[in-house]
């Protein structure tokens, strides 16, 4: 089973600043990596797929990078609506499995 580890668990950043969130896989997942944003009381929303492609309607301030085992989600200039929990998720072909990281809470500093 592939284990996804996100860091840090909580990140405190001021509005307008840059946030960098990390996700590490226990073995290579190639570029089969997605990022989601979840706000309290809401379902998660897809931000990034294929490690670096923004989903439809996602602002350009969100960017993803990495491949293999190390991935990063960068939010270039934080807006008030960006404070939320972020999850990474990998897909492995065989055995077929989708694994989420434990989440990073992005909070206002």
Q: By the criterion CB under 8 A, which residues form the site for other proteins?
A: 1, 32, 34, 36, 38, 43-46, 49-50, 53, 55-56, 87, 89, 91, 95-103
Cβ 40 to other proteins shortest distance, Å = 11
In the complex with other proteins, the residue whose CB is nearer, 16 or 96, is: 96
Residue 80 backbone dihedrals phi, psi, to 5 degrees? -60, -35
| Beta bridge mates, 98 | 91
Q: Would you say 80 or 93 has its CB closer to other proteins? A: 93
Euclidean distance between CA atoms 82 and 78, whole angstroms: 6
What is the smallest separation between the CB atom of 108 and other proteins, expressed in angstroms?
20
Find the shortest distance in angstroms from Cβ 16 to other proteins: 28
Q: What distance lies between CA 103 and its chain's CA centroid?
A: 8
Cβ partners under 8 Å of residue 42, min gap 6: none
> Rg (Cα) of the chain, in Å, rounded?
13
Q: How far is the CB of 21 from other proteins (least distance, A)?
A: 14
Which residue lies nearer to other proteins by CB, 1 or 14? Answer: 1
Do 29 and 79 meet the contact criterion of CB atoms below 8 Å apart?
Answer: no
Nearer to other proteins, 67 or 100 (CB): 100
């Amino acid at each position: 089973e592939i284990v996804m580890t996100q860091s840090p668990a909580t990140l405190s950043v001021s509005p307008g600043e840059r946030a960098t969130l990390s996700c590490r896989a226990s073995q290579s997942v190639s570029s089969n990596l997605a990022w989601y944003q979840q706000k309290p009381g809401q379902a998660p929303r897809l931000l990034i797929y294929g490690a670096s492609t923004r989903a439809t309607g996602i602002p350009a301030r969100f960017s993803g990078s990495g491949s293999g085992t190390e991935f990063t989600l960068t939010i270039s200039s934080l807006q008030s609506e960006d404070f939320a929990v972020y999850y990474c998720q990998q897909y492995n072909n065989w055995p077929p499995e989708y694994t989420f990281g434990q989440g990073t809470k992005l909070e206002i500093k």
